[in-house]
Chains A and B, each alone.
Chain A
């Protein structure tokens, strides 16, 4: 959808994923789109080097999110939010449905 603008399907995947979920890590994004991690990592690194994303380590996992200091963040998010509404319902629903609230350790369900 945004691939002609962004020049890469995986770049679109990364941005759309983060637009929907605010944060994400490499394996989570590549698993979601059922693709190998290497091209996703390349895009994450490119976007981080360009100041669009930031990353931080949580344990041994590198979490990515939008850099709040990126000057075009508001406009980029508007574009991605609009693109998200054009995604197939099932993908959009899966992207937007994600448990982020805490879950106590050892719960059976």
Chain B
């Protein structure tokens, strides 16, 4: 196996997730690092946000990550051999007020990685754009929709459910132009 310092974002995420799984801690990768994976690092995030699906204690997670060299610092887990750091935002796994339905799975040399589907990744980025007016997240959503297979009808339905039908109409052209 590659040295941690040479691993890509997906490989590090899979390595961490696989190790956690061996201790019966099941996690799903969310946030900006999913954008990195779907866009082949056109956008690079060093923040690996995992949502834990069960109810493992922080202590158990910390002990498990310590075995592979990640040390807890405040709310984060860092490692001297990699710039990627791990965080466990509070669950549940949801986008807006809807639970995440289909979780994608990718295989890496370092293990299996469960993560948001490309469609849910776009919704996750758009949630930041809709609620925080974060333009960078809109750009990321467009990047993912350009590089990966995304169900834009589902994105439109979800946007309406979030009360953002008008805003989606406005930005739809940006997605079309980028496609």
Assess whether A73 is in contact with B97, with CB atoms less than 8 Å apart.
Answer: yes
Assess whether A71 is in contact with B127, with CB atoms less than 8 Å apart.
Answer: no
Assess whether A51 is in contact with B127, with CB atoms less than 8 Å apart.
Answer: no
User: Which of chain B's residues have a CB closer than 8 A to the CB of A50?
Assistant: 90
Q: Decide yes or no whether B75 CB sits under 8 A from chain A.
A: yes
Assess whether B97 is in contact with A68, with CB atoms less than 8 Å apart.
Answer: no
Q: Please report the C-alpha to C-alpha distance between residue A73 and residue B127 in the assembled complex, in whole angstroms.
A: 14
How many interface residues does chain B have, given as a range? Answer: 10 to 19
Q: Please report the C-alpha to C-alpha distance between residue A71 and residue B98 in the assembled complex, in whole angstroms.
A: 7
Q: How many residues of A contact B (CB 8 A)?
A: 9
Q: Decide yes or no whether B92 CB sits under 8 A from chain A.
A: yes
Q: Please report the C-alpha to C-alpha distance between residue A72 and residue B91 in the assembled complex, in whole angstroms.
A: 11
Residues of B at the A interface (CB closer than 8 Å) are 75, 89-90, 92, 94, 96-99, 127-128, 131-132
Given A69-B131, A72-B97, A73-B97, 17 extra CB contacts under 8 A: A49-B75, A49-B90, A50-B90, A51-B89, A51-B90, A68-B131, A68-B132, A69-B96, A69-B127, A69-B128, A71-B92, A71-B94, A71-B96, A71-B97, A71-B98, A71-B99, A74-B97
Q: List 20 A-B contacts (CB under 8 A).
A: A49-B75, A49-B90, A50-B90, A51-B89, A51-B90, A68-B131, A68-B132, A69-B96, A69-B127, A69-B128, A69-B131, A71-B92, A71-B94, A71-B96, A71-B97, A71-B98, A71-B99, A72-B97, A73-B97, A74-B97
